[in-house]
Structure 1
Amino acid sequence: MTNYKSRITFYKFNAEQKKLGVNVFDIDELRPSLNEGPVFREACITTYFICGGQERLTVNGHTREVNSGDVICTLPGEIWEWTGDTHLEGYCVIFEKSFITNFFRDDCFLNRFRYLRPDRLTPFMRPNDELLQRELRLLKEMQYEQHSNCSLEDKSHIMRAQLYELLMLLDRAVPVGDDMSPMNANPVNRHINFFVQLVDDHFCEEHGVEYYARQMAVSSNYLNKIVHLIYGMSTKEYINEKLLKEACQQLIYTHRSLKEIALILCFEDVPYFVRFFSKNKGMSPIKFRNLYKEIGTF
C-alpha cells in the first residue's frame, strides 16, 4: 500500500507482480498495510474471501458485518474502510482489468459478470458451502502456481484460466445487502451497462452528455430517456452525482487543496468547482471539509 499522505491508498504491484497481472494473498500478508492505512482506494479489481473472524466493513458506502463465508468484491476507484485492527482471515485476489480484457480483446468482457458491473447493487456476496469450498481450492491452486518455478508466460496462461474459472464460480454466488438479505437484481439494459462503464471510466475528464451519447452511437435525447427510466434522473444529473461523490471523497479523505481537486476533476478553475459543489451540496467545499473535521472523520 502506498500514498498514506493522502489517506486514499492504492495497492501497487511490485515489478514481478506487475508482470504477472494477478496475485493471490493470504489476508495475513496484507494485514500490516490494512491496519496502517484502513481507509484506502483500490487501484485494481480486488476480491476478499473471508474464512474466519467477524468485522464491520464499509465498501463505497455499503456497510456489512462480514464473517466466515462472505466474499467482497471491489472495482478500481472504490473506497474501503476497515476497522484499523482487522483480525479477519482468508484470501485476497488482486488483478488488473487488462489481464483479462486484453486476452479476450473485449474491454467490456468483465461486464458479463453482474458483480463486476459499476452499477451493481452490492459489493457483498454469499456462496453456498459447496461453491465456497470449490473457490477456496482454486485459490490454493492459484497460489501454488504463483510461487512455482515455471516461466512467467506459463504462469500467466494457467493463472488466467484459473481466474476465469473463479470469476464464473463467483457469478453463481448470491448477492447480499447491507442487512444480510439476498438481493435479486433485474437485468439491466445493455445501453445502460455501457453508459455506466463509460461514466465510471471518464467522468473526471468528460462532464458533457454529448460525449457519452457519441461514444454509444445514440442521441442525447435517447440516452436521457433510458437513464431517466432506470435511475430516475437525467444523464447530466447522473454525471454530476459521480463528480460530487468523488469531490466529497477527496475533501474527506485527502488533504488536497481545492485547486488540486478542481484539477483532478477537470474543472476549468477553482471558482467554477466551488459553484458546482455549493449548488449540488448546499454548502461550500471548505465548509463541507470543516464539518467532517469537527466530527472526527478527518
Structure 2
Amino acid sequence: MKNEISRYTFYKNKYGSELLIDVVQLKDIKKFLKTGTIHTLTYHDITFITEGKGDFSIDNLLYEACPGDVFFSKPGEIRNWDKDHIMNGYALIFENEFLSSFFKDDLFVQHLSYFNPGKIAARLHPEESLFKRLLQLVSNIKEEIGLYGRHGDHLLRAQLYEILMLLDRIYIEKGTKESIPKESSNLHISRFIHYVGQSFKEHRSVRYYADRLCITPNYLNEIVTISLQVSAKQYIHRKVMEEAKRMLTYTDIPVSGIAISLNYDTVSYFVRSFREHTGQTPLVYRKTHKP
C-alpha cells in the first residue's frame, strides 16, 4: 500500500531553456501517472475537460467531471481524476514566478478569484461559446510554445493573462465569489494566508506571523477575525487540521507518523486536538473518508 502521495514538479527545461508555462493533453499524460492517480502538484493547474465523464477530486471535494468543465488547483492540493473515463482535455500549467516576476507582485495569482488561498478547490462550467474561446486561447499558447519556446515569453504571458482574466470574470459572474473571504482586498490578510500556507507545520504562534508582517499580534488577530470570521489562532489550527485530514484520507502513514510530520509533541496531544476539531478520532476519520 502506498504511504506517500505522488508529487509532480514542473519540467522547466522541457523545451531546452527554462520555460515556466506549458500546455499538455490529458490523453498524453495518463501514462506518466504512477500506479494510482492520487497526486499533488508544485505548480498551478487549470484543466479543461473535452471528452469523457468521470470523478475529479481536489482535496476532499469530489466532482463528476464532464466536457465543458474547467478545474483549478493550487500547489500542494491533493488531486485525483478518473483517467479511465475522462478521455481527454488540456492542462494549462504554470509556475507562479512566470507572472509574478513580470508584474512585480508575488501575490498576483493568489488574487485571482479561483486561486484565492481561502478556497480549497474550484470548478467552473462556462457557456459553450466561452469554453470554445478558452480552448482556442489554450491552443494558441500550445502553438506558440511549439514555435518559439522561451523566445515567446512576453507573448505567452499576454496570452496566459487573457485566459486568467477571462476566467476570473466568468467565475465572478457565475456568483462563486460569494464563498471567497474578503481577504483579497487586504494585503496583510493575503500575506498572512500565504505565510501560514508555507509554515503552518513549523510555526503555529500568532506572534510569529505578526512579526513577519511587522504588525502586532493583537492587530493581526483583529483584522483576521473581521475578514475571515475566525481568530488568527483558529485559522492556523484549521490549516493544520486540513493537512491532517489530507494525510489520513490519501496516505497510509500511521497516526503517530502524521503527528510527527505536523510537529505535535505527543501522539495523544494530536489525537485529542483532532477529535476536538472534527468530533472523530484520526482512525475513525480515516476509516470513514479513505477511498
Normalised-by-shorter TM-score class: 0.7 to 0.9
Aligned twin of 1:196: 193
Q: 1:83 and 1:49 mapped to 2: Cα distance? A: 14
Q: Which string of whole-angstrom CA distances, capped at 9 and with x for unpartnered residues, describes residues 104-146 of structure 1?
A: 2321121331111111375112333333222211211211122
1:28 aligns with 2:20: no
Q: 1:175 and 1:65 mapped to 2: Cα distance? A: 22
The gaps in structure 1 that reach 5 residues or longer are: none
Q: CA deviation at 1:196?
A: 2.1
The answer as to whether partners of 2:51 and 2:87 remain within 8 angstroms in 1 is yes
Q: Which string of whole-angstrom CA distances, capped at 9 and with x for unpartnered residues, describes residues 147-174 of structure 1?
A: 23x3x54143332332222212211223
Q: 1:6 and 1:159 mapped to 2: Cα distance? A: 38
The answer as to whether partners of 1:101 and 1:108 remain within 8 angstroms in 2 is yes
Q: 2:52 and 2:172 mapped to 1: Cα distance? A: 20
Q: 1:188 and 1:232 mapped to 2: Cα distance? A: 10
Change (3 A) 1:105 1:262: farther
Of 170, 173, 186, 1:173 maps to 170
Aligned twin of 1:49: 48
Q: 1:282 and 1:223 mapped to 2: Cα distance? A: 29
Q: 1:285 and 1:187 mapped to 2: Cα distance? A: 28
1:246 aligns with 2:243: yes
Q: CA deviation at 1:199?
A: 1.7
Aligned twin of 1:69: 68
Secondary structure at the aligned position of 1:174 is classed as: helix
Instruction: Provide the TM-score with structure 2 as the length reference.
Output: 0.83
Q: CA deviation at 1:25?
A: 0.5
Secondary structure at the aligned position of 2:219 is classed as: helix
Q: CA deviation at 1:33?
A: 4.2
Alignment-mate amino acid for residue 251 of structure 1: L
Secondary structure at the aligned position of 1:6 is classed as: coil
The answer as to whether partners of 1:7 and 1:39 remain within 8 angstroms in 2 is no
Q: 2:105 and 2:275 mapped to 1: Cα distance? A: 40
% same residue:
32
Q: 2:214 and 2:263 mapped to 1: Cα distance? A: 24
The answer as to whether partners of 1:23 and 1:94 remain within 8 angstroms in 2 is yes
Q: CA deviation at 1:46?
A: 0.6
Q: 2:123 and 2:129 mapped to 1: Cα distance? A: 18
Aligned twin of 1:145: 144
Alignment-mate amino acid for residue 11 of structure 1: Y
Aligned twin of 1:106: 105
Q: Which string of whole-angstrom CA distances, capped at 9 and with x for unpartnered residues, describes residues 35-63 of structure 1?
A: 84322222210110112322232222233
Q: CA deviation at 1:210?
A: 1.1
Change (3 A) 1:153 1:53: closer
Secondary structure at the aligned position of 1:31 is classed as: helix
Q: 1:49 and 1:165 mapped to 2: Cα distance? A: 16
Aligned twin of 1:95: 94
Secondary structure at the aligned position of 1:173 is classed as: helix
Secondary structure at the aligned position of 1:266 is classed as: coil
Q: 1:250 and 1:6 mapped to 2: Cα distance? A: 9
Q: 2:62 and 2:195 mapped to 1: Cα distance? A: 26
Change (3 A) 1:175 1:52: farther
The answer as to whether partners of 1:7 and 1:40 remain within 8 angstroms in 2 is no
Change (3 A) 1:222 1:105: same
Aligned twin of 1:267: 264
The answer as to whether partners of 2:4 and 2:251 remain within 8 angstroms in 1 is yes
Q: CA deviation at 1:258?
A: 4.6
Q: 2:265 and 2:152 mapped to 1: Cα distance? A: 46
Count of aligned residue pairs for this structure pair: 285
Secondary structure at the aligned position of 1:205 is classed as: coil
Aligned twin of 1:205: 202
Instruction: Provide the TM-score with structure 1 as the length reference.
Output: 0.81
Q: 1:222 and 1:202 mapped to 2: Cα distance? A: 20
Q: Which string of whole-angstrom CA distances, capped at 9 and with x for unpartnered residues, describes residues 164-205 of structure 1?
A: 2221221122369xxxx8524267141433322222222122
Aligned twin of 2:159: 162
* Cα RMSD for the two superposed structures: 2.9
Q: CA deviation at 1:28?
A: 0.7
Q: 1:63 and 1:247 mapped to 2: Cα distance? A: 18
Q: 2:181 and 2:245 mapped to 1: Cα distance? A: 30
Alignment-mate amino acid for residue 89 of structure 2: G
Question: Comparing 241-250 with 195-204, which one deviates more in the overlay?
Answer: 195-204
1:220 aligns with 2:217: yes
